[in-house]
Amino acid sequence: MCEPAVYAEGMTDAVTNPLLASSTLPYGLPDYRDILAEHYLPAFAEAFTQHRREIDAITRVRSMPTFENTLVPLERSGELLGHVARTFYTVSSADATEDIQAIEEELAPLMSAHEDAIQLDGQLFWRIKAVYDQLDDLDLPAEDRYLVERHFREMSHAGAGLDDAQKERLTELNQRLSILTTTFEKNLLADTNDLAVVFDDAAELDGLTEGELSAAAQNAEDRGLSGRYVVTLTLFTGHPYLSTLTNRESRRRLIEASRARGSRGNDNDNRDVLREIVRLRAERAALLGYDSHAAYITSDETAGSPEAVHALLRKLAVPAAANARREQAALQQIVDAEAAPFALEAHDWAFYTERVREAEYDLDRTALRPWFEAERVLQDGVFRAATQLYGVTFTERADLPAYHPDARVFELHNADGGALGLFILDLYTRDTKRGGAWMNSIVSQSRLRGTSPIVVNNLNVPKPAPGQPTLLTLDEVTTMFHEFGHALHGLFATVTYPHFAGTAVFRDFVEFPSQVNEMWILWPEVLTEYARHVETGEPLPQEVIDKLHASEAFNQGFATSEYLAASWIDQAWHSLSAADAAASIDVAEFEAAALADIGLDNPVVPTRYSSTYFAHVFSGGYSAGYYSYIWSEVLDADTVEWFKENGGLTRANGDRFRERLLGVGGSKDPLEAYRDFRGRDADIAPLLKRRGLDG
């Protein structure tokens, strides 16, 4: 196990501020028991100062720039800041109390200004460029050479080559954008909590399981609404309960509340916020020499240009929309056969989709929950698949504190018994947690710094009342496997330089490993272990498994369309020129026009995210990059074919995937890494087949 880093040498505040002292816990896990909200801002202030001193020490060197006197100390710099930032942002996303939110708002422009001061430092850029210019004459190892290339590219991309006046304006833009994106997320969290739907009678929630009903009752109890029921909203437009609620009015209330977020004219309205974000991003792109924010972002991704992204999205949208229309017609037939027929609406889709699934495949996915008990899915599904494939083992460390009582810590060891790192799982939803599911790092691996990884998975599963089991939907099982794919990427990356640690790869490649990990959900050796009835222990019947496989392409018209619609909205906003973005734009009208442009304007198939609650692109890291999921899925589907062709869940296959893809982190071009693993570029055909778009 690596020794914890020392941050606090000579710092008088280290005695009273635990963030400025080395952690005494394994792997450098922050001791959240000792960290108070009041500790964060002083720790950031000290970390900014220390990082600035470290950069100044590099730029003051009088000898000519070399890899050893410029790039190596650059990679050593900022360790305290990274520690404080990862410790804080883990909490601000998963347990954002009012105190933490206030700190994040104050911190956002400070962090932006500091990052700009480093990235736009002319002397530092000169030194890196000097090394870059002589790369062909240097005999550097592959990772060292790529480090020079990436630092030069990233500083150039960030604006290090601009003149002083341009840098000043760029810094202003970045600071303002940091405030706006923080505001967007704060507004969304508040409006999501405010719009949680309150039901007076359990009859209104007919169709929910006992566990789901108990979770709704517990939510109400927690809000002081004893005797009532509260259903919280998910990040995306739909809701898992829409597939089972028999009361049409209850379904309507859920989806209308979801779609209203950030657009009600109250203090949490996000329309002005997102319009300013779009305008400032477009202005920044123009300042940096690009036609649009989308052009700026994709220029440093595997896609290369928005035109390449648009071509893929348009290629997929036509057959996806056609499939969705056929699915809609089938649903309407069922509704028309009822005693009181009506025109199908968005809140009806999931409910009647399950009826069609039952009719066509004799499969009721909503009845599968008793086979997906969360602890068994985790231990005998997610963990077991990783053990079989990679040889890693898991031990829960109840003695190690996480940042919230619901978060659990596990220690991982490699097959040879060597320590690997820590994994933290935070399963349940709460009012202080942002929506969706994600992975983040608290500590990143680096040979240079002697650190080992600590990664976190967050989900938003409703927490049942005490004593009740947590039963997952198949979608939640998928999310658990998906996010653990990110975790494995963060845990397995073995690099020298922290710049390449974990999931530090191009945005449109980062989803690839996580999507691959979904493969094991229905893999026989895995499924038979974790999919066992919570009461009887009986395995999921083989005939049900066969039906799940047979129905894999079912409802893909809807699923692909709602995803592509959101991707296109993202591209539409971020393809605006600075002049067009400066115009007055009605958000709803802009969305409608964008969806009509790509042929995904079916009101019964709403976009997965509308602009006012599209956290991925207006408060997260996916601006002009939400296409990444489908872009990465081309690689994912092709990789699944490789595993099937080569024997599936074997250590040999796992070792190859770990060594050639997961293990390299960001230390080589991702498409080069893919070719090294696969032996060729990815083929799109498996993706088209998977999504039913090859007909």
Residues taking part in catalysis: 483
Q: How far apart are CA 507 and CA 573, in angstroms?
A: 18
Name the DSSP class of 347: G
Of 268, 260, 95, 103, whose CA–CA distance to 184 is shortest? 268
Q: Do the beta carbons of residue 457 and residue 407 sit within 8 Å?
A: no
In this structure, what token pair is assigned to residue 361? 């495949």
Using alpha carbons, select from 5, 39, 15 the residue that is nearest to residue 443: 5
- Are 691 and 323 in contact by the 8 Å Cβ rule? The answer is no
Task: Convert 619-663 into a string of H (helix), E (strand) and C (coil).
Answer: CCCCCCCCCHHHHHHHHHHHHHHHHHHCCCCCHHHHHHHHHHCHH
Q: Which CA distances in Å does 517 have to 172, 252, 520, 632? A: 41, 34, 6, 13
Q: Contact 328/344 with Cβ under 8 angstroms?
A: yes
Give the C-alpha separation, 569 to 590, whole Å: 9
Q: What letter represents residue 92's amino acid?
A: S
CB 557 within 8 A of CB 604: no
Q: What span, in angstroms and rounded, lies between the C-alpha atoms of 456 and 87?
A: 11
Q: Which residues contact 647 (CB under 8 A, 6 or more apart)?
A: 653
Continuous H helices in 14-59 = 40-59
Residues in contact with 630: Cβ distance below 8 Å, sequence separation at least 6, in sequence order: 312, 313, 316, 563, 564, 567, 687
Of 108, 286, 261, 269, which is closest to residue 180 (Cα–Cα)? 108
Whether residue 136 contacts residue 59, with contact meaning beta carbons closer than 8 Å, is answered with no
> Which among 428, 496, 497, 435 is positioned nearest to 463, based on CA atoms?
428
CA distance 363 to 549: 11
First-to-last C-alpha distance (Å) of the chain:
53
Residue type, 476: E
What CA dihedral angle connects 104, 110, 111 and 114, to 10 degrees?
A: -170
The closest of 524, 481, 530 to 647, measured between CA atoms, is: 524
Token digits of residue 275: 């319009």
Alpha-carbon distance 420 to 314, whole Å? 43
- The residue among 445, 438, 391, 385 whose CA lies nearest residue 421 is 445
Tokens 């790039």 belong to 71
How many DSSP H helices and E strands does the chain contain? Answer: 27, 7
Query: Half-sphere exposure of 391 toward its Cβ, with a 13 Å CA cutoff?
Result: 16
For residue 177, CA distances in Å to 84, 112, 279 come to: 22, 9, 10
Question: Of 216, 185, 179, nearest to 201 (Cα)?
Answer: 216
214, 374, 428, 636, 638 from 464: Cα distances, Å: 6, 12, 9, 34, 38
Strand order across the beta sheet in which 408-413 lies: 393-396, 408-413, 419-428, 454-461, 438-443
